[in-house]
Amino acid sequence: MIIDGKRLANNIMQDLKTQIEKEKAKPGLAFILIGEDPASETYVRMKKKACENHGFVSHIIKLTEKVSENDLLAKIEEVNKDSSIHGLLVQQPIPKHISTTKVMHAVAPSKDVDGFHPMNMGKLLLGEDDGFFPCTPFGITKLFDHEKIETASKHVVIIGRSNIVGKPLAALLMQKKSYGNATVTVVHRGTKNIKSICKTADILVAAIGKPHFVTKDFVKDGAVVIDVGINRVKSDGKVKVVGDVDFSSVEASVSKITPVPGGVGPMTIAMLLYNTYKSFKCS
Between 40 and 231, name the residue whose CB sits nearer to ligand NAD.
231
Residue 242's alpha-carbon distances to 10, 116, 229, in angstroms, are 21, 26, 7
Question: Is 91 a catalytic site residue?
Answer: yes
Q: What CA–CA distance (Å, rounded) separates 156 from 118? A: 25
Between 241 and 252, name the residue whose CB sits nearer to ligand NAD.
241
User: Which of 75, 111, 114, 278 is the catalytic position?
Assistant: 114
Write down the least CB distance from residue 229 to ligand NAD, Å.
4
Question: Contacts with ligand NAD in 205-264 (CB under 6 A)?
Answer: 207-210, 228-231, 264
Secondary structure (3-state) at 217: helix
User: Which of 47, 75, 154, 220 is the catalytic position?
Assistant: 47
Write down the least CB distance from residue 242 to ligand NAD, Å.
9
Write down the least CB distance from residue 238 to ligand NAD, Å.
19
Strands 155-159 and 87-90: unpaired
Question: Contacts with ligand NAD in 63-122 (CB under 6 A)?
Answer: none
Host H or E run for residue 43: helix 38-53
Site string for ligand NAD, 158-187 (x = CB under 6 A): -xxxx-xxx---------------------
CB within 8 Å of 147: residues ≥ 6 apart: 3, 256
Which of 58, 91, 120, 136 binds ligand NAD (CB under 6 A)? It is: 136
Start-end of H helices in 55-189:
69-81, 100-106, 118-126, 135-146, 166-174
CA-based nearest residue to 87, from 276, 281, 278, 282:
276
* Binding residues for ligand NAD, total number by CB under 6 A: 22
Residue 268 touches ligand NAD, criterion: CB under 6 A: yes
Question: Is 96 a catalytic site residue?
Answer: no
Question: Is 114 a catalytic site residue?
Answer: yes
Q: What CA–CA distance (Å, rounded) separates 187 from 115? A: 23
Write down the least CB distance from residue 190 to ligand NAD, Å.
7
Report residue 155: phi and psi, to 5°.
Answer: -95, 115
For the annotated catalytic residues, the residue numbers are 47, 91, 114
Binding site for ligand NAD (CB under 6 A): 136, 159-162, 164-166, 188-189, 194, 207-210, 228-231, 264-265, 268
